[in-house]
Amino acid sequence: MTTVFFQNNFEIEIIIRMICAAICGFVLGIERSRHGKAAGIRTYMVVSIGACIFAIASKYGFSDYVGMGRDADVARVASNIVSGVSFLGAGTILIVSDRVTGLTTAAGIWAMAAIGTAFGTGMYIVATIATLYIFVIQNLFHNKLTRKRVYVKVPGSVDIVMDSSEKSLNKVLGVFEKYQMDIDTTGIERHKDDSLLYRFAVNFPESTSIIDVVSDLSNIKNVQSVDM
Amino acid sequence: MPHVLLNSMNLECALRLLVAVVCGGFIGIERTHRSKGAGVRTHILVAIGAALFVIISKYGFSDYVEIENTGVDISRVAANVVTGISFLGAGIIFTRGGSIHGLTTAAGVWVTAAIGLAVGAGMYTLGIAGTVLILFVQLIMHRGMLLEMGNMISSRIVVNMDDNPQLFAELQEMLKDRHIEIYGSHIKRRKDNTLTYTLDVRMPQNISSKEVLNLIKESKVIKSIGF
């Protein structure tokens, strides 16, 4: 399960493990960075290397000083990586206007710490396999946007000024349906004369062109202005 | 109870991680990404992370314990998965106007970690049975059935109207007609002497846009209404 490449020169072994952890952090972090997430390449690499160092220290750092009345549980320090990184992850989670965001990033950091720990203990193959799985999953998600069930939808808002007829509202809802936009909340405000200002909080697929939606909405009769 | 299915331990672990990914994926698909935040990817990452930590816990240290007085508790790292994932879950929970939200999402993440942990330890039956049970619960207990059981959802309505208690009483009647109960309110006076009521409510289901339109048309005095 665990491999040690350099039995004689352990320092080199350690460096190799850290480099592997860093590389895997890089590989998985690229995807996050490309989407402008707060935890990008650097965070993933650093978490991976950090977990790796903790694991190495846990496993090899204490056995030289054990003796009478002094014991070492080589897994103890490493076990705290798990709880520790969860604190970090929980801090990544933000609640903005009653929406929870940053959950995928937090889970990603959690998985990254696991991979770093695996490299630290010397489980090269298992760690690489896990990295591969996550890499494939990440890319699967951004290529399969046509499958309804795994849609990645992002939050947004649409403000429309139009008349108060139900017909117009139906047409707007029709446009939303066409672009597979889900309405979270609806707000209505009385505007000048008899018109109403609608504020929709929506969720729409990442790949949607906002310009298309706005132009479709503006083409509806009685719609005075659209803001997205 | 743990089973080792393949001869090569590395392949075995690859299989366990794969099963964890699949289980996490299934649970995640049912928790489809709405504004709750925990989608398929989150559940998969939690499951594979938990499984990997357990594999590390169980097999990662035993090669270095030949030295006297050095021992390893092979369940220790795994034990911290439980506490660790709970911190993550706690970050999901938030309170809004006296009611708690995100609890089901947090519990879902927690149970996904449990399943990942079981699979990582080699208890395939436990993990898969757990996944099936959770899916069953999610499918059976979805909105439709809960509504019939009288379940109410908590929400918030913001209404802006003139300062007139009688009009507000009429508004309350209107809401009551639609089975909306107000359990908390906050009033703010705006510069033009209108009042903005922020009402914490309980209602049988989410209000559709058309109903909001009807509400504002019914009562000429509402200046704006939002959810």
CB distance A202 to A152 below 8 Å: no
Of B55, B57, B69, the CB nearest to A126: B55
Strands A72-73 and B70-71: parallel
Which residues on chain A are in Cβ contact (under 8 Å) with B87?
83, 86-87, 89-90
**Closest alpha carbon to A114 in B63, B60, B92, B40:** B60
CA distance B2 to A199: 55
Using one digit for the tens of pLDDT, what is the confidence trace for B112-158?
Answer: 999 999 999 999 999 999 999 998 887 777 655 555 666 667 777 78
CA distance B40 to B27: 7
The region of weakest confidence among A137-141, B24-28, B65-69, B87-91 is: B65-69
CA distance B192 to B160: 11
pLDDT at B47 over 80: yes
Domains of chain B (ranges, CATH numbers): 9-141 (no CATH), 153-226 (3.30.70.260)
What is the percent of chain B where pLDDT is above 70? 85
pLDDT at B14 (0 to 100): 93
Note whether B41 contacts A4, CB cutoff 8 Å. no
The amino acid at residue B57 is S
Of B32, B45, B210, the CB nearest to A107: B45
CA distance B196 to B160: 4
- ipTM score here? 0.75
pLDDT at B124 (0 to 100): 93
Per-residue pLDDT 10s for chain A (228 aa) are 777 777 778 888 999 999 999 999 999 988 877 776 666 788 899 999 999 999 999 988 887 887 777 788 888 899 999 999 999 888 888 887 767 778 888 899 999 999 999 999 999 999 999 999 999 988 877 665 434 444 556 777 788 888 777 777 788 888 888 887 877 777 777 777 777 788 887 777 766 777 888 888 777 777 777 777
Note whether A126 contacts B216, CB cutoff 8 Å. no
Domains of chain A (ranges, CATH numbers): 10-143 (no CATH), 149-227 (3.30.70.260)
